[in-house]
Amino acid sequence: MIKNIIFDIGNVLTDFRWRGFLEDKGFDEAKIKEIEKATVMSPYWNEFDRGALSYDEVMKLFESENPDLKDDLFRAFNDIHGMVTGRDYAIPWIQSLKRAGYNVYYLSNFSEKAYNECSEALDFLPYCDGGILSYRELIIKPDEKIYELLCTRYSIEPAESVFIDDTKANVEAGVKYGMKGIVFRNYEQVNLDLAALGVEF
């Protein structure tokens, strides 16, 4: 019996629109690919989400490996308001689940800078029963310790929980820990998958 619904945030309850965000700043496709390779695809990006590197530290590392992009990187990431944006269904979805008696939690790889500068996209957080943002704990998905920490902190039984994430590896890690798992493709698909697990709301 499912009692707990655990959501990833980026590209599930919000849009992590880093590509559109860079387009908004006037970068063309070729430059966006360069910036992507230098940042989002870099292992330092995960360490930034983990909270192991500050913004200044991660930028210095990006720049040290991509000195020709220094000005572009500053222009791209000095101010990241709008990189994460809200989805209209987030709060109603959470409210519907809670009215039906389910506990709702979040479990997300999220940097401190994104939390501070994209806070308007996280307006659903107070509606949840709790959750974990990676930068506060120095752990990121799919490390098993982050699932264990969530369950320990909130007395969650993994077998009574379903974890929803847009990244297959993260869902697989949750399943390995003992949860049910759904790979997010869209809102309608997840609701069908929840119904198949007996979640009614």
pLDDT at 122: 98
User: What integer pLDDT is reported at residue 28 of this predicted model?
Assistant: 97
Cα–Cα dist 81/77, whole Å: 9
Q: Are strands 84-86 and 14-16 parallel, antiparallel or unpaired?
A: antiparallel
Q: Please write the tens of the pLDDT for every residue from 88-129.
A: 999 999 999 999 999 999 999 999 999 999 999 999 999 999
8-26 as b/e: b if 16+ CB within 10 A: bbbebbbbbbbbebbeebe
Give dist(CA 166, CA 12) in Å, integer. 7
Q: What is the average per-residue pLDDT within 23-41?
A: 96
pTM (2 decimals)? Answer: 0.95
Average pLDDT over residues 55-73: 97
pLDDT band, residue 74 (cuts 50/70/90) = very high
The domain segmentation of the chain, as residue ranges, is: 4-15+84-196, 18-77
* pLDDT at residue 109 in the model: 97
Q: Tell me the average pLDDT across 150-177.
A: 98
CATH of 4-15+84-196, one of 3.40.50.1000, 3.50.30.50, 1.20.58.340, 3.30.70.20: 3.40.50.1000
Cα–Cα–Cα angle for 61, 73, 28, nearest 5°? Answer: 140
- Compute the mean pLDDT over every residue in the chain, rounded to the nearest whole number: 97
